[in-house]
Chains A and B, each alone.
Chain A
Amino acid sequence: MTRLQQILALAAGGLALLTLLASLMAGPALLPAITLFGLCGSLTLLRFLRASTLWIDGGLALLGGAALLFSLGIVQPAPAALWLALAAAWAFAWLFVERLSEAIARRQVDGRLFGLLIPALFGGAILLAWEVITRGGGVPTVLLPPPSMIWARILASLPILGADFAQTFLRAVLIGYLLGCLSGYLVAIAIDRSPFLKRGLLPLGNFVSALPIIGVAPIMVMWFGFDWQSKAAVVVVMTFFPMLVNTVAGLSAAGAMERDLMRTYNAGYWQTLFKLRLPAAGPFIFNALKINSTLALIGAIVAEFFGTPIVGMGFRISTEVGRMNVDMVWAEIAVAALAGSVFYGAIALLERAATFWHPSVRGG
């Protein structure tokens, strides 16, 4: 074991021992699950006599999480044993992740499968800490609702969330995204033929990409009305410039050698464009598509702050915040985060399929 692992192992075992002691002092029957976790965790201190496998640490982290969730709310305010158990569970999870990533690096376990386990465990640990701290610590739900409450709210208000999702994502984001990316792409191909325009437009495009374009939202709402058209227009403006700049950069990605080869084939401009330069620009175009996928969601939601019909994710967030229904706001945020991640993931998958020849895809 490395030094960090030894420190972590000592901390995890020691915290578990403290948990056990605190739980015994408060009465072992009060929090039986926590007592059990403390007992099992303390036994891992024996690893300094005889090496133990890393799966024991992973199992203990899971056991600790389950014990915490089971014991929450039995005693209010939360006793010291609960906080110690949380710290111990975190220490076990960290130790497990340390040992697992070392095992992956040494190719003792399959990296593809267990590589996914590590971030999943990290996310779970964050959610667990969130739940325990908000419920155990009695944090007012107005400030930060526990994840379980947000989940209950999501299940309870599926129709509203669905309507908001359809209004904001399916109409404003998707339509604006398609129009913005397509127009940026076409304009890039059009100005590519004129070096003069390219020299004039590219610095401007780079400049505009750095601007807070989100500021055009009130103007678009004024021009296109309150419904989704104005939000789609904001998304078009936001996605246009990254696409333009990236496509123009991508079109010059094909090397001189390949172009000469196309010339020896007597290929025309359009043949060279479609068979060589556009495929070569693929990684750049997908880069813009990925950047734009997050920009589009942000643009549509923020544009709804400036005026909207009574449906939509941005509208719901701003009104429910005013009514202090924070759990509804979090439910809406969870939907937005999920939609954003799926959108991004879909484009990333598409990229792997379309630019399979690129080193960054082949290597990873």
Chain B
Amino acid sequence: MTRKPVLGDTVPILLVVAILVLVWYAAAVWLNAGLLSATYQRAKVENVPMTQFVLDAWAMERPLLPAPHQVAVELWNTVVGTAVTSKRSLVYHGWITLSATLLGFAFGTLLGVALAVAIVHNRAMDRSMMPWIIASQTVPILAIAPMIIVVLNAVGISGLLPKALISTYLSFFPVVVGMVKGLRSPEPIQLDLMHTYNATPGQVFWKLRWPTAVPYLFASMKVAVAASLVGAIVGELPTGAVAGLGARLLGGSYYGQTIQIWSALFAAAALAAALVAAVGLVERLVTGRMGARPA
């Protein structure tokens, strides 16, 4: 992809974000109105002025839709205002999710590359595995997640590994598909050249196929790391809301803590963006070292 001029995109994006925030504030008033009038009736308050009503709608304790600044305050309090070791700290929960994500991502990438190498080098492997690898993704693994967690828990394996396995399952697929494409991307003329050099299969792999596949690897790793985060979050749901961003979501949903749900959601979004950006950074470093022109 070519990079567009930075300023040319920033203004429209900021404008769209600003519009979304405005819509959000309006929606918060509209959605919370029913709940708020019920509160007023119970407190026997009448003839509330419009401005007061709107301000109250943006400052409820358990709103249907919290206002953006409420979420921001909650995020600030739980990220910066709380000690990292505390169970109320989002950094603590985020780290638990992140560690499962990274472990699953590492497993998934290794598995994906290994499968892709086998598929590219063996026709029987290609024909027998590829349809099942595609079919494997139509199985809603997230539905199997609770079973993997509970069953492995019964065997005595708990904590990081079961969640990482779910992440692995979700993240190996993009890597396999991308790497099969990448390892096959050398032109026949280049393969022929290697042939005339009398190169061994190992030399063809390391000197031609692998370097050609690196851009594909990074493109699919960006998809894989996002999928891995989803796997880790869903893997935390059935453990009964112990720790992690998924547990924050589930806990918030149990106790009607909408602000907590939204802040966990934004933390997850920030984590996803950071992970994808990190992969992108490594990509730029690696392709730069490999002599690619800065795109």
A binds B: yes
Summed over the interface, the residue pairs from A and B with CB atoms below 8 Å come to a total of 163
A333 within 8 A of B: yes
Give B218-260 as 1s and 0s: 1 = Cβ < 8 Å from A's Cβ atoms: 0000110010011001100110000001000110110010100
Q: Which of B17, B31, B151, B230 contacts A326 (CB 8 A)?
A: B151
Name which residue of chain A comes closest to B237, CB basis: A305
Interface residues of B: mostly helix, strand, loop or mixed?
Answer: helix
Chain A stretch 171-213: residues in CB contact (< 8 A) with chain B: 196-197, 199-201, 203-204, 207, 210-212
Cα separation A203 to B12 with both chains bound (whole Å): 10
CB of B9 within 8 A of CB of A199, answer yes
Name which residue of chain B comes closest to A336, CB basis: B140
Name which residue of chain A comes closest to B130, CB basis: A119
Interface centre among B17, B127, B237 (most CB of A within 10 A): B127
On chain B, the residues within 8 Å of A143 by CB distance are 151, 154-155
Interface residues of A: mostly helix, strand, loop or mixed?
Answer: helix
Cα separation A329 to B148 with both chains bound (whole Å): 11
Name which residue of chain A comes closest to B139, CB basis: A337
CB of B128 within 8 A of CB of A121, answer yes
Q: Which of A121, A221, A314, A322 contacts B253 (CB 8 A)?
A: A221
B276 within 8 A of A: yes
Q: How far is the CB of B37 from chain A (nearest CB, A)?
A: 18
Give the size category of B's interface with A. 35 or more
On chain B, the residues within 8 Å of A214 by CB distance are 142, 230, 233-234
CB of B139 within 8 A of CB of A218, answer no
A344 within 8 A of B: yes
In the complex where A200-B15, A305-B237 touch, is A294 in contact with B140 (Cβ < 8 A)? yes
On chain B, the residues within 8 Å of A216 by CB distance are 265
Of A55-63, A70-78, A97-105, A281-289, the one with at least 4 CB within 8 A of chain B: A97-105
CB of A118 within 8 A of CB of B250, answer no
On chain A, the residues within 8 Å of B226 by CB distance are 210-212
On chain A, the residues within 8 Å of B229 by CB distance are 212
B123 within 8 A of A: yes
Of A42-50, A272-280, A295-303, the one with at least 4 CB within 8 A of chain B: A295-303
CB of B253 within 8 A of CB of A317, answer no
CB of A101 within 8 A of CB of B138, answer no
CB of B234 within 8 A of CB of A204, answer no
Identify the A interface with B (CB < 8 A): 4, 94, 97-98, 100-102, 104-105, 115, 118-119, 121-123, 126, 142-144, 196-197, 199-201, 203-204, 207, 210-212, 214-219, 221-223, 293-294, 297-298, 301-302, 305-307, 313-314, 317-318, 321-322, 326, 329, 332-333, 336-337, 340-341, 343-344
Identify the B interface with A (CB < 8 A): 8-9, 12-13, 15-17, 31, 64, 122-124, 126-132, 135, 137-144, 146-147, 150-151, 154-155, 222-223, 226, 229-230, 233-234, 237-238, 245, 249-250, 252-253, 256, 258, 261-262, 264-265, 268-269, 272-273, 276
A-B contacts besides A317-B146, A337-B138, 16 pairs, CB < 8 Å? A119-B131, A121-B128, A126-B132, A204-B17, A214-B230, A215-B268, A218-B261, A219-B261, A223-B31, A298-B142, A306-B250, A321-B146, A329-B147, A332-B143, A343-B138, A344-B138
